[in-house]
């Protein structure tokens, strides 16, 4: 498909999405959103709340930087 035809096709799709929206069933949407919201909030666990372990990324003795002298 040529570039002009592809651009025309994309323009047509964009125009349909912009001006011709389908009918939305708001009652079904409300039921779906309210059903999911209740179950997710009950299982929420803050996994960072009790982070008392040492930082794994803290520099240790093995991570020393060795500077090389290039002026030989």
Residue-wise pLDDT tens digits, 25-67: 899 989 988 876 555 555 667 777 776 666 666 666 666 666 7
User: What is the C-alpha separation between 52 and 41, in angstroms, rounded?
Assistant: 25
Reference 27, options 19, 39, 35; nearest CA is: 35
User: What is the C-alpha separation between 49 and 58, in angstroms, rounded?
Assistant: 20
Q: Which two tokens stand for residue 53?
A: 């372990």
Alpha helices in the chain (DSSP H): 3-19, 26-42
User: What is the C-alpha separation between 60 and 42, in angstroms, rounded?
Assistant: 40
Whether 10 maps to a domain, the answer reads yes
Whether 3 maps to a domain, the answer reads yes
Whether 36 maps to a domain, the answer reads yes
Whether 33 maps to a domain, the answer reads yes
Whether 22 maps to a domain, the answer reads yes
Q: Evaluate if pTM is beyond 0.75.
A: no
Whether 18 maps to a domain, the answer reads yes
Whether 64 maps to a domain, the answer reads no
Which residue range(s) make up the domain with 4? 1-41
User: What is the C-alpha separation between 43 and 20, in angstroms, rounded?
Assistant: 39
Whether 23 maps to a domain, the answer reads yes
* Domains held by the chain: number: 1
């Amino acid at each position: 498909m040529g570039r002009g035809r592809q651009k025309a096709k994309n323009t047509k799709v964009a125009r349909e999405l912009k001006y011709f929206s389908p009918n939305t069933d708001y009652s079904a949407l409300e039921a779906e959103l309210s059903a999911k919201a209740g179950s997710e909030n009950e299982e929420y666990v803050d996994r960072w709340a009790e982070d008392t372990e040492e930082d794994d990324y803290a520099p240790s003795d093995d991570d020393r930087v060795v500077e090389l002298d290039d002026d030989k």
